[in-house]
Amino acid sequence: MVRVLIVDDSATMRSLIAAVLERDPEIEVVGEAGDPLEAREAIKQLNPDVITLDVEMPNMNGIEFLEKIMRLRPMPVVMVSTLTVRGAEATLEALELGAVDCIAKPSTGGLEGFRDLPFKVKAAAKANVKPLGPARAAPAPVPFDHAQDGRVIAIGSSTGGVEALITVLSRFPANCPPTVITQHMPATFTKSFSQRLDKICAPQVAEATDGAPLERGRIYIAPGGDRHLAIGGTGVLRCRLTAGDPVNGHRPSVDVLFHSVAKTVGPNAVAAILTGMGRDGADGMLAIRQAGGRTLGQDEASCVVYGMPKVAFELGAVERQAPLDRLAAELLKAPSSQEIENA
């Protein structure tokens, strides 16, 4: 049984969240709090397994409270945010501070908008939560001097992926191979996340647009919402945003991206699957490996949730596992098919 504390200044929203969570027989709502001061006492008394935390509250906002939690008493936190740009930016800051996952408040106020919350809460309960340490200096980019050789890097991630992607991509040099990424995240959040990455990374980072050419020194993030990101083309490779049903419960789906990479670039693909719940990406990564591409998985010790990488590894899709702080170097040094042939 996962014991949950709901923290939100709106009584209506607390009731809505409680109603959704209590539908799941594996979840027990043990308490509610209207602000961080009440929440602090509730944590001491109730010792919950997971907290759902509103971003904007009186007395102390959710970000300030989260930072105190992660420094003093680290525990799994799922952020509940509005779909505004401001809410998205604050939520991304929370995920960088160590929140396990996030969910957007439904615009209509109905239960359907929170349908994924029980899954996120149960995944958070199993998360590998680490204390928030002192701020670290930005890492030096990994040297990269390969010629333009058709190589494409593809990355998939989910729960815990914001922090993981920042760690990996901040080490990418300005002349990195074209890189395509699917991170499970709501639409407003992916735009803010792309902008955040663009400020801290040497390459240019942006949400993928349909028809955008894959170019060296550019990183393309799949927009959240109602389309999948794939790549295609015979001369110039381009991003393709395609309609379609969710795959493995997700749209955009890592599997859709990876399958397109396997089909389009085959042995010139270098793929990594990072922290996340479920199995999205495992089948597509296997297709990349079978096509001659190189495949990497984040290791269990450094994952927030060792779900997606575990399934891919057990399927035989992962050629090699590596800790998060080594993945950038591993992705960039993986030899292309041309280099292997010439060796």
- At 300-334, the pLDDT tens digits run 999 999 999 999 999 999 999 999 999 999 999 87
Report pLDDT for 243.
Answer: 92
6/133: higher pLDDT:
6
CA–CA separation, 131 vs 97, rounded Å? 9
Note whether residue 14 is domain-resident. Answer: yes
Note whether residue 295 is domain-resident. Answer: yes
Question: Do 14 and 95 fall within a single domain?
Answer: yes
Q: Which domain holds residue 16?
A: 2-125
Question: Do 39 and 176 fall within a single domain?
Answer: no
Note whether residue 249 is domain-resident. Answer: yes
Residue 285: band (very low, low, confident or very high) from pLDDT cuts 50, 70, 90: very high
Last residue of a domain, one of 90, 125, 160: 125
Report pLDDT for 83.
Answer: 67
Report pLDDT for 116.
Answer: 87
Question: Do 53 and 110 fall within a single domain?
Answer: yes
Question: Do 159 and 27 fall within a single domain?
Answer: no
Residue 268 has pLDDT above 90, yes or no: yes
Question: Do 70 and 217 fall within a single domain?
Answer: no
**Tokens matching residue 168:** 């990996």
CA–CA separation, 188 vs 254, rounded Å? 19
Question: Do 111 and 230 fall within a single domain?
Answer: no
- pLDDT (tens digit, 9 = 90+) per residue, 174-208? 999 999 999 998 888 899 999 999 999 999 999 99
Note whether residue 137 is domain-resident. Answer: no
**Catalytic (active-site) positions:** 158, 184, 280
Report pLDDT for 336.
Answer: 55
258/187: higher pLDDT:
258
Note whether residue 31 is domain-resident. Answer: yes
Q: Three-class SS of residue 250?
A: strand
336/263: higher pLDDT:
263
Beta bridge partners of 214: none
CA–CA separation, 13 vs 88, rounded Å? 18
Residue 49 has pLDDT above 50, yes or no: yes
Closest CA to 329 of 173, 142, 140, 149: 142
Report pLDDT for 61.
Answer: 82
CA–CA separation, 180 vs 235, rounded Å? 18
* Mean pLDDT, rounded, for 73-81: 92
CA–CA separation, 222 vs 324, rounded Å? 21
Which alpha helices (H) appear in the chain, and where do they start and end? 11-21, 36-46, 62-72, 85-97, 117-125, 161-169, 187-200, 254-265, 282-290, 308-314, 324-333, 337-342
CB-CB contact of 46 with 28 (8 Å) = no
Question: Do 34 and 180 fall within a single domain?
Answer: no
Residue 146 has pLDDT above 90, yes or no: no
| Mean pLDDT computed over every residue of the chain | 91
Question: Do 121 and 163 fall within a single domain?
Answer: no
Number of domains in the chain: 2
CATH of the domain at 104: 3.40.50.2300
CA–CA separation, 163 vs 101, rounded Å? 11
Residue 135 has pLDDT above 80, yes or no: no
- pLDDT (tens digit, 9 = 90+) per residue, 1-33? 999 999 999 999 999 999 999 999 999 999 999
CA distances from 94 to 146, 243, 246 (A): 36, 31, 27
Question: Do 105 and 201 fall within a single domain?
Answer: no
**Tokens matching residue 40:** 């602090």
Question: Do 31 and 179 fall within a single domain?
Answer: no
Question: Do 180 and 120 fall within a single domain?
Answer: no
**Tokens matching residue 306:** 């060792």
Residue 64 has pLDDT above 80, yes or no: yes
Residue 343 has pLDDT above 50, yes or no: no
Note whether residue 143 is domain-resident. Answer: no
CA–CA separation, 231 vs 310, rounded Å? 25
Note whether residue 133 is domain-resident. Answer: no
CATH of the domain at 314: 3.40.50.180
Report pLDDT for 110.
Answer: 61
Note whether residue 130 is domain-resident. Answer: no
Question: Do 290 and 255 fall within a single domain?
Answer: yes
Residue 87 has pLDDT above 50, yes or no: yes
Q: What is the DSSP string of 272-322?
A: EE-SBSS-TTHHHHHHHHHTT-EEEEE-GGG-SSBSHHHHHHHTT--SEEE
CA distances from 154 to 23, 260, 284, 336 (A): 37, 10, 11, 14
